Amino acid sequence: MNSNENRNWRNESRKAQFWDFDGTKVNCHLCPRHCSLKENQKGFCMVRGRVGNELHTFNYGVSVQATIENIETEAVNHYRPGARILSMGNIGCMMACSYCQNWQTSQVKHLNDKNVHYYTPDDVVQLAIKNGIEIISWTYNDPVVWQEFVVDTSKLAKKHGIKTLYKSALYIEEAPLQELIKVIDIFSVSLKGMKEEMYRKYTRGSLKPVLERIKQIAKSDRHLEISQLIVTDMNDDGEDAVRTADWIFENIGADVPLHLVAYHPAFRYKKKRTSIDTLLKLRKIVLERGLNYCYLGNVYAEEVSNTKCRKCSSTLVKRFGLTVDVVGVNAHNSCKKCGDTAIIKEALKGKSSTLDVTNFTFITNHEHSWDGEINSVHIVMADDHEGMVLKIEHLPNGKVEFIKISGDLERIIISKRSENESMIRISADLDCNLNYLPVLDRAHFPVEERSKSSHKYLN
């Protein structure tokens, strides 16, 4: 399933949707670029191209490794806090951001095929079911250019009662987005900024189509949240924050959450990382402009992303990085203190079921220390690990979590849970090689080349 299987995705394709043939060229209508293609020519994304007189997709089921993460990884705070998700990421992209954190898989010319994996819609759904996961997320590289696979898999997921989440810069046309709205439950939109010149210069996209598509989602009954990466010397001076807040307030409503996310140097843009002081300043501006909910992302600090009751201001959800504690919501999804309906949807459904580990024997030989800006890691499993249970101890406070890995799932995220946490201790009940890949951004998918060490249990 999720292996290279000696396949070459560049030679495999199937007929795509949203195009026409004008007698000379095949014209793609998936995103606002409207690539017009000659015979055997690929579009800007490099994963859709002309075959004969048809448009084909070359990345149907072509993916990076499926990963267990948290819903907060996707800048979603008002839907099932703390829920585990199955994150799926495609290759290729309809944009080319100069600061892209996933450029090694989004920009096909930089792609190493050893990082390519193959899935069918049923593979993805069965991975979710076997691991007790109720939300599948389309994320990492932008899923716009994965339209056919996303739609097919989301339809199948819905039949099994599994929700779907779409994390995207939303550079897409109206008709394909409407197709997505029919099958996607949660939209998390990455709005790059509020200046057309910034979009054109740094993303090779355009602002206006994105704003139109955000409004399209807002008119539906789907859950919507907005995030904005705050990039040093690009959109961090406060002017963009005012424009963003005013546009959200006037067009989609003051209750739509806005996430201001810290950037880190990546790809071709190497200016310094966004400071927490900058984010706090911008959050203050946003709230003063009338938005009710503004959260800080890629920040591991107390009191920067808690959710308060809109009526009595008591804390409903406490957050630290990707760690969540629903403290103020009762079984009726209301504030425990005043009884007002919580702004958060299904606040208590994100809780993971308790795993009985009474009869498990864990063997430990690895400790991972948190270092500087690295507050999360992807743990990548090799060898036979079906049914393996990981025990993660967060030190020195001693908090412990247990995660069972079922099926062919190979990757999970582990994050720092408190400000005084200095390391994690990893234990497992099976003999298995593990790689530890640093996560530089909560939407970052670190590829295997980043790993500098491998650790083996039961040496």
- Is 82 found in the same domain as 212? yes
- Is 52 found in the same domain as 68? no
- Is 341 found in the same domain as 262? no
Q: Given a cut of 70, is residue 459 above it in pLDDT?
A: no
**Residue 314 belongs to some domain of the structure:** yes
- Is 419 found in the same domain as 297? no
- Is 420 found in the same domain as 284? no
Mean pLDDT of the chain: 92
**Residue 122 belongs to some domain of the structure:** yes
| pLDDT tens, position by position, 98-115 | 999 898 888 988 888 888
- Is 88 found in the same domain as 39? no
- Is 74 found in the same domain as 186? yes
- Is 399 found in the same domain as 450? yes
Summarize the confidence of residues 219-241 as an average pLDDT.
96
**Residue 248 belongs to some domain of the structure:** yes
- Is 281 found in the same domain as 169? yes
**Residue 357 belongs to some domain of the structure:** no
The pLDDT > 90 percentage for the chain reads 78
**Residue 392 belongs to some domain of the structure:** yes
Predicted TM-score (pTM) of the model is: 0.94
pLDDT of residue 4: 55
| pLDDT tens, position by position, 56-73 | 999 999 999 999 999 999
- Is 168 found in the same domain as 140? yes
- Is 343 found in the same domain as 276? no
Contacts of 347 (CB under 8 A, 6+ apart): 80, 81, 316, 317, 326, 329, 333
Containing structural domain, residue 20: 9-57
Summarize the confidence of residues 299-317 as an average pLDDT.
94
**Residue 356 belongs to some domain of the structure:** no
- Is 72 found in the same domain as 19? no
pLDDT of residue 289: 97
| pLDDT tens, position by position, 278-303 | 999 999 999 999 999 999 999 998 99
| pLDDT tens, position by position, 38-59 | 999 999 999 999 999 999 999 9
Please count the structural domains in the chain.
4
| pLDDT tens, position by position, 355-367 | 888 888 888 678 8
174 φ/ψ angles, rounded to the nearest 5 degrees:
-65, -45
**Residue 96 belongs to some domain of the structure:** yes
**Residue 419 belongs to some domain of the structure:** yes
